Amino acid sequence: MPRNRSLLLLSAGHACVDVYQGAVASLVPFFVAEGGYTYAAASGIVLAASLLSSVAQPVFGALTDRRAMPWLLPVSTLAAGLGIALSGMSGSYALTLAFVAVSGIGVAAYHPESARVARLAGQGSHRAMGSFILGGNIGFALAPLMVTAVIATGGLRLSPLLVVPALAGSVLCLPALRALERATPTGAGSAAPAGTDDKVSFMKLSLAAVCRSITFVGLSTFISLYARERTGGGTAAATAALFVLYAGGGVGTLVGGRLAGRWDRVAIVRVAYLTTVAAVAGAVFVPGPALYLFVALAAIGLYVPFSLQVTLAQDYLPSRVGTASGITLGLTVSVGGLAGPLIGSLADATSLKTALIPLILMPALSWLLYRGMPEPAVPEPLAATPQTGDDREAEPAPPRDMTTK
């Protein structure tokens, strides 16, 4: 199977999984409406999806570093979908939390191994990893549309219909896994690339990614409610805000992958975080329909670094690609959910606008952490991998620092 086709299937599978990360935030307004939950209680549902996922991500990453486990992709996809599908049927807050937590574990199991497989299928290309990440962005973007189409029609009792993407995703990844298994020599998929680990830079990158995650999860949890409040709209205004946030993330991922072919990834990430500060401030303070413009700009600024941080982390820890992937692609995203109840409690005590103001500081902290970080060298086995036939991709020239252009 040509490399591009394998990447397309993996990206589509990634979309089917990440639709459930987006579905949690998309369900919050319906849980508030039907369950009468407070802001803090509703954000606790997001926390349930994040907490176990945060704990499980490093475990699954370490396991995939020791042994390739491609079977995790279809199994974890099904777990992610079943948890969300059952969450609306429980009639109990405790059971809702439990089902959402099951979905979070499925998401946690998926990301480290899927990033390892995508790295192999894409032969270490930044553009290939960007395409894989874009699949997740598309899943995020489709989540509010899917949830609204299903739940607004018949209420939370129709939530079992939300399992459909999981069924599709578990099937889509199978041909790509079989093709990769035939093309990869025994043991090569789990072999550690040559290179020296830069643990200090990896820790800085991880902390910066956590700050980014707090901003994104905070926005994704409350932007639908905030859009209703600031624009005076109803369900359509809330759904539009989430769609713009997630769709902007897809645009940011594409832009980040393209820019990485011309400049240093570290320099690109620094500029993205700095501009995100102004965009988030606009989303919080600018009233009326202009809110949507700043939400889009904030999403682009937050997602330009996303795929680049995954490849940076893998290059900073070339001997632990699974762990690096699990932390940057999954754990740091999930950790952002831990701040959700704090934001919700602050919103209950003051106002939603006041609670969102601290999110402006997070990308500024990310920018500070990236100052002085080096651009890592690409591990030799990936840099030297030959490409033939339909798999050949014109790779861009070596990156240049943005300050020299």
Domains of the chain and any CATH numbers: 3-182+190-375+395-404 (1.20.1250.20)
- DSSP reduced 3-state for 98: helix
Alpha-carbon distance of 152 to 131, in angstroms, equals 32
Give the number of other Cβ atoms within 10 Å of residue 153's Cβ: 9
* DSSP classification of residue 326: I
Q: With a cut of 70, say whether residue 391 has pLDDT above it.
A: no
Confirm if 55 and 123 have CB atoms less than 8 A apart.
no
How large is the average pLDDT for residues 72-96? 87
Q: With a cut of 50, say whether residue 389 has pLDDT above it.
A: no
- DSSP reduced 3-state for 400: strand
Residue 263's φ and ψ, nearest 5 degrees, are -130, 170
Judge residue 157's burial from the number of C-beta atoms within 10 Å of its C-beta, 0-12 exposed, 13-18 middle, 19 or more buried: exposed
Q: With a cut of 50, say whether residue 275 has pLDDT above it.
A: yes
Going from the C-alpha of 57 to that of each of 73, 167, 202, 367, the distances in angstroms are 14, 22, 16, 25
Q: Which amino acid is present at 206?
A: S
- For 92-141, write each residue's pLDDT tens digit: 788 888 888 888 888 888 888 887 888 787 776 667 777 787 888 788 77
User: Kind and range of the H or E element at 159?
Assistant: none
- From 191, 65, 216, 69, select the one nearest 140 (Cα to Cα): 216
For the chain, what is the mean pLDDT?
80
Output the pLDDT for position 208.
Answer: 93
Alpha-carbon distance of 54 to 195, in angstroms, equals 27
Output the pLDDT for position 194.
Answer: 52
Alpha-carbon distance of 28 to 44, in angstroms, equals 10
Alpha-carbon distance of 182 to 135, in angstroms, equals 24
How large is the average pLDDT for residues 22-36? 79
Q: With a cut of 70, say whether residue 334 has pLDDT above it.
A: no
- Using alpha carbons only, what angle is made at residue 392 by residues 391 and 397, rounded to the nearest 5 degrees? 140
For 92: left if phi > 0, alpha if psi spans -120 to 50, otherwise beta; the answer is beta
Residue 400's φ and ψ, nearest 5 degrees, are -120, 150
Judge residue 288's burial from the number of C-beta atoms within 10 Å of its C-beta, 0-12 exposed, 13-18 middle, 19 or more buried: exposed
Output the pLDDT for position 398.
Answer: 45
Write down the pTM of the prediction: 0.68
Residue 65 tokens, joined: 């570093």
Output the pLDDT for position 369.
Answer: 93
Alpha-carbon distance of 228 to 291, in angstroms, equals 11
Residue 202 tokens, joined: 């990896």
The fraction of the chain above a pLDDT of 70, given in percent, is: 86
Going from the C-alpha of 355 to that of each of 222, 288, 371, the distances in angstroms are 10, 19, 28
- Using alpha carbons only, what angle is made at residue 310 by residues 162 and 376, rounded to the nearest 5 degrees? 175
Alpha-carbon distance of 182 to 289, in angstroms, equals 52
Q: With a cut of 70, say whether residue 388 has pLDDT above it.
A: no
Alpha-carbon distance of 122 to 100, in angstroms, equals 32
- From 130, 69, 94, select the one nearest 322 (Cα to Cα): 69
- For 309-333, write each residue's pLDDT tens digit: 888 888 898 888 777 877 777 666 6
- DSSP reduced 3-state for 18: helix
Q: With a cut of 60, say whether residue 155 has pLDDT above it.
A: yes
